[in-house]
């Protein structure tokens, strides 16, 4: 009987998924995993539609703003990413907004910021978000020698992993990295690919490094999303205008039919990195 009930549950889940999601998964082999339950969110929360595994061996570079390839997202799917935190008074408010809507995101954290706010870093991880990497001190790596740049990257890996897992290995537990300012070099890209670390660009961004009102930023990012029909979206959780805009943005995603996807590394890779 338990197998019949399990099959019925899976069948209902598959029937409830949009056809575009099913077709995308069949074509690219992306695991179809339901998003997390939403026990503490509001009744009509946006939610996380599904979780996808991002394997650096298959997709070492992501984001059409910078690379030829990106994630195999379906129409109207968005993967939310935040850079430069954690920062007290900002990142915690971002986490509050995401929790209300039961949405999970990827945070590309700066090692120095993580050391300054370790409890906030642990909260990001504890609430089910993906903690990825953004160097130790946020320099532009294309202005450094390859050796110095790789040391800076590794310093960031070690700072974050030591806080979250008590130790740091030769490779980060979560093998996701984004260059500050997208300042890549061919040598560093090749080196990170060799080490099995996925480099994230973006498919679109909110341009929140420019000062604007939260309302103006909301209009801008929603117009870009409508034009692109989704993709990897870049925000900065350190920017007050983004913090102030985020609740309305998540409601706008819900009202306009967008769905949030959460990206995670392969389980076997994270388990191996922790040993």
Q: Which residues are catalytic?
A: 83, 236
Dist. CA 162–CA 16, nearest whole Å: 41
Nearest to 218 by CA among 256, 258, 246, 239: 246
Q: 3-state secondary structure string, 139-153?
A: CCHHHCCHHHHHHHH
Dist. CA 227–CA 221, nearest whole Å: 10
Place of tokens 């310093």: 155
- Output the furthest CA–CA distance in the chain (Å, rounded): 63
Dist. CA 213–CA 241, nearest whole Å: 6
Dist. CA 141–CA 134, nearest whole Å: 11
């Amino acid at each position: 009987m338990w197998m019949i009930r399990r099959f019925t549950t899976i069948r209902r889940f598959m029937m409830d998924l949009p056809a575009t999601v099913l077709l995308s998964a069949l074509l690219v082999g992306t695991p179809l995993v339901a998003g997390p339950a939403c026990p503490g969110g509001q009744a009509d929360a946006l939610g996380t539609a599904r979780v996808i595994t991002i394997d650096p061996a298959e997709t070492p570079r992501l984001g059409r703003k910078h690379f030829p390839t990106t994630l195999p997202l379906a129409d109207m799917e968005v993967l939310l990413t935040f850079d430069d935190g954690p920062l007290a008074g900002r990142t915690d408010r971002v986490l509050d907004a995401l929790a209300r809507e039961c949405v999970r995101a990827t945070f590309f954290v700066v090692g120095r910021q993580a050391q300054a706010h370790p409890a906030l870093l642990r909260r990001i991880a504890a609430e089910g978000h993906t903690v990825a990497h953004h160097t130790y001190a946020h320099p532009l790596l294309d202005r450094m020698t390859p050796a110095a740049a790789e040391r800076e990257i590794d310093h960031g890996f070690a700072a974050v992993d030591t806080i979250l897992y008590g130790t740091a290995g030769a490779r980060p537990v979560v093998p996701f990295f984004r260059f500050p300012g997208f300042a890549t070099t061919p040598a560093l890209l090749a080196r990170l690919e060799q080490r099995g670390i996925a480099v994230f660009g973006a498919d679109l961004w909110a341009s929140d490094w420019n000062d604007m009102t939260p309302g103006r930023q909301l209009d801008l990012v929603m117009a870009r999303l409508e034009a692109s029909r989704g993709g990897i979206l870049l925000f900065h959780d350190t920017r007050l205008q983004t913090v102030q805009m985020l609740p309305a943005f998540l409601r706008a995603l819900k009202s306009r039919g967008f769905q949030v996807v959460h990206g995670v590394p392969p389980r076997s890779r994270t388990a191996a990195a922790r040993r």
